Chain A
């Protein structure tokens, strides 16, 4: 509820005051007050107007104490929040490439999604003071270094949009990988990532990669109910109960993806990853998976984005098309860039087991376990090691 209004208010206040940092402080104050009062008093009839009034009152208090801000006092006079949605500018400012990645993430969550510093700290298992400091430093840089509050020019948009999508994707990944039974009650970053992408898609409806990321997130979320056992253990895609997937959501996301591909003919990394997720989601059973199609999609992805991690995932697809020996040979060829990556060793272990090389498989699983701190992944690996 707060999320739907906080960013809008921040956008409006930054425009109104011309001061990113001051506007953001006011919104954060208003959000804190809302989180205390709404659960007790109920959600006001016009939450946007309520938040604006509280922010305005707070602003007037602050301004009264600071004479040099008196000029801005007059700017806060309108009693209604201004209608236009300024959140696009807000997103681009928060994700400006001159800010450190962690600062972009924290700032986007706080300013655009209206999370409190405490909520962000809890989601990233960081201390509240560290997050607060990160945000303060980022806000100071925005002001001092002259980072503009503006939608980038057309010729800069692709690069800047890709920066925004990276931030959201990171958020999604963090939320997706850390979502375990133990942390089910903590902030759902996957939900924030989907909300942000949907917002962005609404504001930039003709950007195919935004649609691609939205489809990707929705396809993954559609499998949530099958990803964990009631005891909180991770269930691999292979073993998931496919009847528990949200098939309506899968159909919607797949339709969005198809529409986007037909209209723009501009496959990018997010659309391709979504297409791969769609292949998995549309297979009625694990053996029905269309591996040759997935392999083609990974080849396309690797041409656009030749990263070791994409190569790793391609080798998994390869093992189903050409067998574990071919996949293992490919994988070992990429070992240098993936040594510190838990999934690399877990995948090797799986292939070695398929090839009947049990001792080596055990060793690889041990290495994989050493490299992950995620309780759900650890549980799975330990179970394999105990066999």
Chain B
């Protein structure tokens, strides 16, 4: 089954990460790359890391194409990246995310078959 992993940042995590020194940041990225390498056989689309929520723009087509600054939901937790995987079932996806070395929340969503 295909799933999209949505990586979610909390305010706390973002603040802590911003406070890291260059060497610590590099080490954090290295661990993330390592995770992607370790699970390369299950990752069908590495997806992307997204820029911060302050860069988001939301367009509401149902409200007269209203364009607004900011993410569509204001909250303390925001999606900061995504990756598509193909695994046997939810248990395998759960095993995989348990070793994720970065942001503290992950949403696992099955991909709809069209």
Q: How large is the interface on A (under 10, 10 to 19, 20 to 34, 35 or more residues)?
A: 10 to 19
- When chains A and B are docked, how far (Å) is the Cα of A145 from the Cα of B88? 11
B110 and A150 contacting across the interface, CB-CB below 8 Å: no
- Say whether B89 faces chain A, with CB atoms less than 8 Å apart: yes
Instruction: Provide the residues of chain B in CB contact with A145, threshold 8 Å.
Output: 90, 108, 110
The verdict on B16 contacting chain A, using a C-beta distance below 8 Å, is no
A153 to B93, CA, bound (A): 14
What's the least CB distance linking B42 to chain A, in Å? 13
A130 contacts the other chain (CB 8 A): no
The answer to whether A156 and B91 have CB atoms under 8 Å apart is yes
Closest beta carbon of chain B to A138's beta carbon, Å: 13
B90 contacts across to A, CB distance below 8 A:
96, 98, 145-148
Of all chain B residues, which has the CB nearest A92?
A: B91
Bound CA span A96–B1, Å: 18
A82 within 8 A of B: no
Whole-angstrom distance between the Cβ of A209 and the nearest chain B Cβ: 21
Complex interface bits, B1-21 against A, C-beta within 8 A gives 1, otherwise 0 = 101000000000000000000
Give which listed residue, A146, A148, A152, A153, contacts B110 with CB less than 8 A.
A146
Q: Which residues of B contact A288 (CB under 8 A)?
A: none
CB distance from B114 to the nearest CB of A (A): 14
- In angstroms, Cα B1 to Cα A146, docked, is 7
Which residues on the A side are within 8 Å of B95 (C-beta)?
Answer: 156
The answer for the CA separation of A152 and B91 in the assembled complex, in Å, is: 8
* Complex Cα spacing A145 to B89, Å: 8
Give the residues in chain A near B94, CB-CB below 8 Å: 98
Interface residue tally of chain B, by bracket? 10 to 19
- Cβ of A154 under 8 Å from chain B: no
**A contact patch SS:** loop
At the interface, yes or no: A383 with Cβ under 8 Å from chain B?
no
Q: How many Å lie between the Cα of A145 and that of B112 in the bound state?
A: 10
B113: nearest chain-A partner, CB-CB: A144
* Chain B residues, Cβ within 8 Å of A150: 89, 91
Whether the Cβ atoms of B110 and A147 lie closer than 8 Å is: no
Q: Which residues of the partner chain A approach B93 to less than 8 Å between Cβ atoms?
A: 146
**In the complex, A152→B92 CA distance in Å?**
11
**Cα A146 to Cα B3 with chains together (Å):** 10
Q: Which of B96-114 contact A (CB under 8 A)?
A: 108, 110
How close is A146's CB to chain B, nearest CB, in angstroms? Answer: 4
- Most chain A CB within 10 A, of B89, B91, B93, B108, is at B91
Q: Complex formed: what's the CA distance from A150 to B94 in Å?
A: 14
A312 to chain B, nearest CB (A): 31
Q: Which residue in B3, B89, B108 is a CB contact (below 8 Å) of A148?
A: B89
Across-interface contacts of B88 in A (CB, < 8 A): 146, 148
Chain B residues positioned under 8 Å from A96 (CB to CB): 90
Q: How far is the CA of A152 from the CA of B95 in the complex (A)?
A: 11
Give CA–CA (A96, B93) in the complex, Å: 14
Chain A residue nearest to B1 (CB atoms) is A146
- Which B-chain residue is minimally distant from A144 (CB atoms)? B110
* C-alpha gap A220/B16 in the complex (Å): 49
A156 cross-chain contacts in B, Cβ below 8 A: 91, 95
Q: With A and B bound together, what is the CA distance between A54 and B3 in angstroms?
A: 38
Provide the residues of chain B in CB contact with A144, threshold 8 Å. 110
CB distance from B4 to the nearest CB of A (A): 12
Contacts of B108 in A (CB 8 A): 145
A138, B95: Cα distance in complex, Å: 21
Contact with B along A122-151 (1 / 0, CB 8 A): 000000000000000000000011111010
Q: Can you list, as one digit per residue, whether each of A57-91 has a CB less than 8 Å from chain B (1) or not (0)?
A: 00000000000000000000000000000000000
Q: How far is the CA of A147 from the CA of B87 in the complex (A)?
A: 12
CA distance A98 to B1 in the complex (A): 16
* Min distance, Cβ B84 to any Cβ of chain A, angstroms: 14
The 9 sampled A-B contact pairs (Cβ below 8 Å) are A96-B90, A98-B90, A144-B110, A146-B3, A147-B90, A147-B91, A148-B88, A148-B91, A150-B89
A residues with a Cβ closer than 8 A to B are 96, 98, 144-148, 150, 152-153, 156
Taking A147-B90, A148-B89, A150-B89 as given, write out 6 further A-B residue pairs in contact, using a Cβ cutoff of 8 Å, ordered by the A residue number: A144-B110, A145-B108, A146-B3, A146-B88, A147-B91, A152-B91
Closest 10 CB pairs of A and B: A148-B89, A146-B1, A146-B89, A146-B90, A147-B90, A145-B110, A148-B91, A145-B90, A144-B110, A98-B90
What is B's interface to A at a CB cutoff of 8 Å?
1, 3, 88-91, 93-95, 108, 110
